[in-house]
Chains A and B, each alone.
Chain A
């Protein structure tokens, strides 16, 4: 069950600053889409608007689904915070029950993200940053969501962990799961994504199609972002 997202002319203003300035994009579940940009470019704001966590001033978001009531979106927020008193296993079981899936699949989800089984039943307050990130990722992946929206999923993970997550996301995509990923780590984005949207000053500036998934493309992407940042158009973003 593939679903399309259509975002039309989204505008979001925080006090006097326009965080999103007329963003229009179409997200296709057949490709992995990346969001790339500097701090304050509007990536997380865009994702929060999509997840209905914040309101937007203008524009519209359409989520074309055959069965909207059964739409499951796995979301991993930026700077993940988890309930401290419960264990990862209890948290994932809760996520599965919310998505009306079998709670016994929790162990499978935790194994999939590589969380040490010795910690499954321990309170989350005892976890390291990387373990919390893996738990959050397991929560997002649990229950076979039709879309994954991931805001900085590699944050706090070591090199092996990042590689593992990249492989995992590729596998999920092959299993017909649409993915939108936001990250500052360019090589990871280039290795994973089919298309990368460069954001600067609240606008999508460029639609970059990844063909070779190579380091040259990563370097090119960084140079393109630098070009956009050099434009410096404060009048356009401050009202």
Chain B
């Protein structure tokens, strides 16, 4: 356990000292300003527009973190054989990969924490609930929940990238497959969701409907179905919707992480 914690600590230290991470943190500070500029182009529902820009920005930052920090760090570790240095006894492969994953999660959490705080601060400062614009029915915790929600969703994507990096043979291959899974996770689930609406499914045979549902289960739903939209617009959310979404992502992350451990324990380094 101590070796996992130590590897996590070291990974977090590596990430914090990376220039890309500094740029992302700067981006997290600039995000509310961008949201403010963009939202002022509109006449109505300014707070909602701002929340929309904030959640989009948080997702972009999280995706960039995964591509430019997680893939680069794991890719160099494996393809440039940096991991050889650490994998001498007493450190096991399991502890090493678990520590790396937890360290990367911690880095993502730090980034999202900055996004949370800056988003919440900007919403609080700009929109007085009793003022002329009000907060357009946005609750006080909108900024916190948007970034927290984005962080949680990206855990499953990070686990998928971990699997790719343990399986692929070079940094270029890892990047290509990671970009592919990122794009697919963004693009395909909304289409699948649309295809699952009762109006459309009634026109398909049962086999096609089942196939569409199966494809939908394979990919993590990064857009979060309607949850992201509901959060950004202050719509009510049912407990079952949130619980199902959380369980879905946790299960996905768990399966990807388990597969990554299995592949990493067997591959030649």
Contact = CB atoms under 8 A, between A and B. Distances in A.
A98 B81 contact: no
Interface in A85-128: 85-86, 90, 94-95, 97-100, 123
Interface string B164-187: 000000000000000000000000
Contacts of B18: 85
Contacts of A77: 81, 84-85
B90 A70 contact: yes
B89 A54 contact: no
B240 to A, nearest CB: 44
B37 to A, nearest CB: 33
A99 B84 contact: no
Contacts, number: 69
Interface in A40-96: 48, 51-55, 69-75, 77, 79-83, 85-86, 90, 94-95
B82 A51 contact: no
B81 A73 contact: no
B6 interface: yes
A98 B91 contact: yes
A179 to B, nearest CB: 14
B75 to A, nearest CB: 12
Given A85-B17, A98-B91, A54 B269 contact: yes
Contacts of A37: none
A94 B6 contact: yes
B3 interface: yes
Given A82-B82, A82-B85, A85-B18, A97 B90 contact: no
A51 B80 contact: no
Contacts of B14: 83, 85-86
Interface string B62-93: 00000000000000100011101111111100
Interface in B5-25: 6-7, 10, 13-14, 17-18
Interface of A: 48, 51-55, 69-75, 77, 79-83, 85-86, 90, 94-95, 97-100, 123, 136, 139-140, 149
8 contacts: A48-B269, A53-B269, A55-B268, A73-B89, A75-B88, A77-B81, A100-B2, A100-B90
